[in-house]
Amino acid sequence: MRWFARRLVFYVFAIWVALTLNFLLPRLMPGSPIDGLLEHLSPAQLAANPGIVQTYEALLGGGHHSIGQDYVTYLHRISHFNFGLSTSNYPTPVSEVVGRTLPYSIFLVGVAFILSFVIGTGVGMVAAWRRGRFTDSFIVPAFMTVSAFPAFVLALVGLYFLGLKAGWFPIQHAYDSNVIPAWSWTFISSAFRHAQLPILVIIAAYAGGWVLNMRTVMINTIGEDYVGMARAKGLRDRRVMTRYAGRNAILPPLNGFAAQFAGAVGGLVFVEIIFSYPGVGYTLQSAVLGNDYPLAQAILVVLSVCVIIANLIMDVLNFVLDPRLRTS
Amino acid sequence: MAQLDPTALDLQLAVPKRGIRIGRIRVPGWLALLLRNSKSRTGLLIVGFMVFIAIIAPLISVAHPNDFNILATRQAPSWHHLFGTTDQGSDVFSQVVVGARRSLLLGALAGALATVVAAVLGITAAYVGGIVDEIVNLLTNVFLTIPAIPLLVVASGYLRARGMWTMIAVIALVLWAFEARILRAQALTLKNRDFILAAKTSGEPTWRIVFGELMPNMISRIAAAFVLVFYVSLLVDSGLEFLGLGDMSATSWGVTIYWAQVNSTVLQGEWWPFMFPSLALGLTVLGLVLVLAGVDEVSNPQLRTEHKRGRLVRLVFGRAAA
């Protein structure tokens, strides 16, 4: 339990650092982002929202208050999810824009990343178990080669060949334009079809890392005595591979899940932009290019929190799977 | 985008003391060792080829990369325009070969800066231990938890000028943590060796032990970690340029892909403006990954693939596919 408490304290600290970075970044950079921001609002819009400039000053700096005062206001507003109004989606509040786009992203990266973990570790396990055979000498190099390409290249290649030329998948947006987002069968099936190609791209981009990682650990695990013992007992080959060697070899890759997931969230940004998928990544790019800093700030906070929550889930899973953590 | 986790890269033990002669040329020991491994040999060849192209770029580019010619827009690859032309009529081949210079240089410099930060912080923390180690370790983990790409996107969004050095500094500041974790872990294993204890008992100051004893003995690991961060920053930099958040007036692979995306050439069925710079980028990264994989195999022979395959497989994939 001590171990778990330590992790929790670390996550709280990490969120605090993310928030503070978010606070400091616009203040450290030369020039005041406030001017670029206010350019996007007309005088009438400014007059209609009397408190808007103060909100932006608290979030981004440039006001007349001291930095310490600003920091307190900033933390207070963030803790109430008050990120101000989004200038590029005026007059929608930032929190509403994030709330609308986040579910798409979570769905996309969640499904894709779990699938890439399952496929990658599975292939890596089989490759290590049957060294030098078909999986090891064809599928592993294929995964390695594909994963060497950045996500945005794979997305463009997939878009061109699988979407445009072969016409197997829809190439843009999260659902068909004539469908209204609701919990209906038409919407869900449409959303599912539109998510297929982005998910495929993320799997292609990230499964290779798991394959290599799992293969390396698995090769070392196979040499352990208990694997030889299981074999000597006459257990079936597949059972030794999955229940004995694989079960133990999966722990180190699982520990690397955190850093990999943070990387995949980065890849998600590119994939969403290329497929015009209305998630937070797509919104982040348009926010940054359109000087909508409050929205960009909020997305960075939300993505950091998402990564930390994913970490937390992985820690719980690790706790369940690794008895050594429970006894210590 | 980190694909490899070189936690146990140690060439030192396997490197022959003196160089090896191949014909008349004397090859340093580490290079000979890497050339003997099929993976790292292929990787070195690919990376070497890319660097060579970047060096001779002005000689082989047929036109100034940003020259436009409205009479020759959107042309498919032909003998006249090897990689076709963009919607402005610029020659894609010239953009790719000239862009190689900036992309490789920026990636290498950002990687080098991140390596310096990571080596100093990681190794010092491991050696000194105590509260310093706790703080560095905490910072490293925090930076690994905050997603790097969104952080970079937001940070470069605030920048007014996105020159080369600014981008190098920003990328290095975000990526150093990847390496610091690896180097710290490796320094911890060296920390209690006899030669370090000897240096300590003879009264050498901390900075001399870190820079004079630990670092020289970790040089191969630092180099391997540099290769890792080199390709990560290559990917990250091209990615930022692809998002329109780099120095968009420069010629580089990411910028070429950016314009291909902005002009939605892909949707119009023009594959060449994005495919060729993407291939160059992917090939370079693959080369660097292979070098790392080779280093991994050299230092951990257990990982080597046994050659059980037939002649045909070797013919198709080369020994490198092993």
| Cα B179 to Cα A60: distance, rounded to the nearest angstrom | 31
DSSP reduced 3-state for A66: coil
Q: Contact at 8 Å (CB) between B101 and B111? A: no
The 10s digit of each residue's pLDDT in A112-154 is 989 999 999 999 999 999 888 888 888 888 888 888 788 888 8
**Which positions ≥6 away from A84 have C-beta within 8 Å?**
A52, A55, A56, A59, A77, A93, A94, A294
Residue A104 domain flag: yes
From A53-67, A181-195, B94-108, the region with the lowest mean pLDDT: A53-67
The 10s digit of each residue's pLDDT in B146-182 is 888 888 888 888 887 778 888 899 899 888 988 898 8
Residue A261 domain flag: yes
Across the interface, do B145 and A307 touch by the CB < 8 Å criterion? yes
- B21 sits in which H/E element: strand B20-22
**Which positions ≥6 away from A23 have C-beta within 8 Å?**
A70, A71, A74
pLDDT for position B120: 92
| Pairs of residues, one from chain A and one from chain B, whose beta carbons lie less than 8 Å apart | 190
Residue A116 domain flag: yes
Both tokens assigned to B92:
């894609």
pLDDT for position B114: 95
Q: If contacts are CB pairs under 8 Å, which of residues 78-137 in chain A contact chain B? A: 131-133, 136-137
Please check the confidence at residue B279 and state whether its pLDDT lies above 80: yes
Please check the confidence at residue B15 and state whether its pLDDT lies above 60: no
Residue A18 domain flag: no
- The dihedral over CA atoms of A56, A58, A61, A63, expressed in degrees to the nearest 10, equals 90
Across the interface, do A258 and B145 touch by the CB < 8 Å criterion? yes
pLDDT, averaged across chain B: 80
Domain coverage including residue A187: 94-290
Q: If contacts are CB pairs under 8 Å, which of residues 81-140 in chain B contact chain A? A: 138
| Cα A78 to Cα B76: distance, rounded to the nearest angstrom | 52
Residue for token digits 């963030």?
Answer: A78
Q: What are phi and psi of A266, to 5 degrees?
A: -65, -45
User: What's the gap in Å between the CA of B306 and the closest CA on chain A?
Assistant: 5
Both tokens assigned to A183:
């919990």
How many C-beta neighbours within 10 Å does residue A91 have?
12
Residue A131 domain flag: yes
Domain count across chain A: 1
Residue A3 domain flag: no
The 10s digit of each residue's pLDDT in B215-236 is 888 888 888 889 989 988 998 9
Residue A35 domain flag: no
| Cα B237 to Cα B169: distance, rounded to the nearest angstrom | 11
| Cα A268 to Cα A17: distance, rounded to the nearest angstrom | 23
pLDDT for position A199: 92
Q: Any idea what the CATH number is for the domain that residue A103 is in?
A: 1.10.3720.10
Cis peptide before A91 (omega within 30 of 0): yes
Residue A34 domain flag: no
Q: Contact at 8 Å (CB) between A78 and A305? A: no
Q: Is B262 on the interface with A (CB under 8 A)?
A: no
